[in-house]
């Protein structure tokens, strides 16, 4: 299955403080304190614990303001690693689509990544292998888990709701087949659903989308300091009682 290899490029540090949505302060093994880019703007309140371990990767871009990026942390309660990079799910999905390793999409092949429809850009455009049909696929990253249930989002997402509303419109008008793939960047979950207690608008939008034929499905990941790899199917419930 699709995987991202880290090739011993990660350094284990200590998380000290979150300075803003995208910047952390961390301590390196040398004892120096560095500002670190956080690629996940979510709340991550159960994952970013002061004094806890965090794995960092050094940037090779001399123009960057922050020399380091946060890659993953360790959830001590559930004893698992959790990825902190929201770009990884798209990379994993792209590889899986190129290799045709997503069973739910076995009748479709990848046409293009970052496909624009009107003023919006969607993650992937697929074509049906036999029918004259196109499918728009959006990928969403899941990091929050409660009692074995993955929740999305873990912070209000106006952009995420807009994407799903646009997919619903296109599906209703028979312009495209549409789908959302939730990729949980951790392995300790048995299902995925919305989080109406955090973002009730997204929960309503997701439920309405499903009623109009937008397809939701999920995957989990196995995360280690060596690699992150895509696992098998995880059910997605658009309305959780």
For 63-97, how does the pLDDT look when each residue is reduced to its tens digit (9 = 90+)? 888 999 999 999 988 899 999 999 999 999 999 99
The topology under which CATH files domain 3-81 is OB fold (Dihydrolipoamide Acetyltransferase, E2P) (2.40.50)
With cut-offs at 50, 70 and 90, classify the pLDDT of residue 216. Answer: very high
What was the pLDDT predicted at 240?
A: 58
DSSP 90: H
What was the pLDDT predicted at 241?
A: 53
Domain ranges, ordered by start, for the chain: 3-81, 88-237
What mean pLDDT is reported for the chain?
95
What was the pLDDT predicted at 1?
A: 75
Q: For the stretch 13-36, what's the b/e string if a residue is b when 16 or more beta carbons lie within 10 angstroms of its beta carbon?
A: bbbbebeeeeebebebeeeeebeb
CATH of 88-237, one of 2.40.50.100, 3.40.50.720, 3.40.1350.60, 3.30.70.1060: 3.40.1350.60
Percent of the residues in the chain that have a pLDDT greater than 90, as a whole number: 90
Indicate if the pLDDT at residue 153 is higher than 80. yes
3-state class of 161 per DSSP?
A: helix
Percent of the residues in the chain that have a pLDDT greater than 70, as a whole number: 99
What was the pLDDT predicted at 78?
A: 87
Separation CA 53–CA 133 (nearest Å): 47
Q: Greater confidence, 239 or 105?
A: 105
Separation CA 165–CA 131 (nearest Å): 25
pTM: 0.94
Q: Provide mean pLDDT across the span 184-191.
A: 97
What was the pLDDT predicted at 120?
A: 87
Q: Provide mean pLDDT across the span 125-139.
A: 97
> How are beta strands 144-146 and 149-152 bridged, if at all?
antiparallel
């Amino acid at each position: 299955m699709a995987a991202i290899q880290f090739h011993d490029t990660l350094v284990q540090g200590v998380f000290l403080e979150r300075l803003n949505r995208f910047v952390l302060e961390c301590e390196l093994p040398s004892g120096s304190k560095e500002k670190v880019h956080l690629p996940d703007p979510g709340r991550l309140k159960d994952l970013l614990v002061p004094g806890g371990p965090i794995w960092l990767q050094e940037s090779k871009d001399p123009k960057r303001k922050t020399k380091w990026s946060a890659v993953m942390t360790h959830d001590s309660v559930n004893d698992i690693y959790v990825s902190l990079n929201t770009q990884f799910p798209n990379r994993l999905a792209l590889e899986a689509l190129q290799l045709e390793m997503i069973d739910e999409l076995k009748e479709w092949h990848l046409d293009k990544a970052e496909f624009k429809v009107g003023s919006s850009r969607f993650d992937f455009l697929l074509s049906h292998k036999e029918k004259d049909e196109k499918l728009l696929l959006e990928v969403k990253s899941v990091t929050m888990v409660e009692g074995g249930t993955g929740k999305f989002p873990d912070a209000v997402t106006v952009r995420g709701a807009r994407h799903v509303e646009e997919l619903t419109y296109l599906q209703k008008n028979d312009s495209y087949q549409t789908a959302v793939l939730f990729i949980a960047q951790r392995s300790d979950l048995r299902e995925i659903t919305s989080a109406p207690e955090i973002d009730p608008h997204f929960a309503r939008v997701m439920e309405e989308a499903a009623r109009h034929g937008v397809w939701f499905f999920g995957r989990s990941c196995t995360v280690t300091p060596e690699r992150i790899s895509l696992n098998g199917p995880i059910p997605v419930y658009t309305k959780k009682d």
